Amino acid sequence: MAERERRLTPPFGGVFVARKRVMGPDDVDRAVWRMAHEIIERNRGLEDVAIVGLQTGGVPLAHRLGEAMHQIDGVNVPVGSLDVAFYRDDIGLRPVLPEAVTDIAFDVGGRVVVLVDDVLFTGRTIRAALDALTDHGRARSVQLAVMVDRGHRELPIRPDYVGKNLPTRRDEVVNVADDGVELGEMMK
């Protein structure tokens, strides 16, 4: 999730305070490695597969998955990044600004696109991402990989590859960083 949105959004403006570390750096590595294998297995190789990370949390994860796949299969999978700000369903309800410029340098048409994000929560970002992706072309299929699925879906969306299923309360916050995953809350 976007640092800037967090900063601008009224209920936030606070500081993230970790209460519990739920994954260490090794756990994240192993999850990336396993998900890379699962993606290869599910698609019977990496032909036509492309990875698209969602700004901002999904982008580093997308690159790590790409590197892992390269190590496993020797194939360079194209990796892109997608910002969904202009496709959100809460424009006008809260501050919405893009985090970064979308960068998809390959043709989406006919590919299997694996969307990657750090945390799957309400599903609304993924809904927006599906719309955004469609504007870049008609993918043959779209799959979803997330490091943490924390539940509380508000839309009929489910992930295909999950690093960790993490039961949470709605008011908790999940922070995915390079060195692991923490569960905590925002303090004013």
Q: Which residues bind another protein (CB under 8 A)?
A: 1-2, 5-6, 8-12, 83, 85-87, 90-98, 100-103, 117-126, 131-132, 135-137, 146, 149-150, 152, 170-171, 173-174, 186
CA distance 108 to 12: 35
- Within 121-179, strands assigned E span 141-149, 161-165, 173-177
Residue 36 or 126: the one with the smaller Cβ distance to another protein is 126
Closest CB 169 distance from another protein, rounded Å: 9
- Contact predicate 66/51, CB 8 Å: yes
Closest CB 153 distance from another protein, rounded Å: 9
Closest CB 100 distance from another protein, rounded Å: 8
Residue 45 or 110: the one with the smaller Cβ distance to another protein is 110
Closest CB 109 distance from another protein, rounded Å: 10
How many of the other CB atoms lie within 10 Å of CB of 180? 17
What would the two tokens of residue 154 be? 């508000």
Residue 37 or 152: the one with the smaller Cβ distance to another protein is 152
Residue 72 or 186: the one with the smaller Cβ distance to another protein is 186
Residue 46 or 146: the one with the smaller Cβ distance to another protein is 146
In sequence order, what are the residues at sequence separation of 6 or more whose Cβ sits closer than 8 angstroms to the Cβ of residue 65? 32, 35, 36, 39, 51, 114, 116, 145
CA distances from 106 to 99, 113, 117, 118, 145 (A): 21, 11, 19, 23, 20
Closest CB 118 distance from another protein, rounded Å: 8
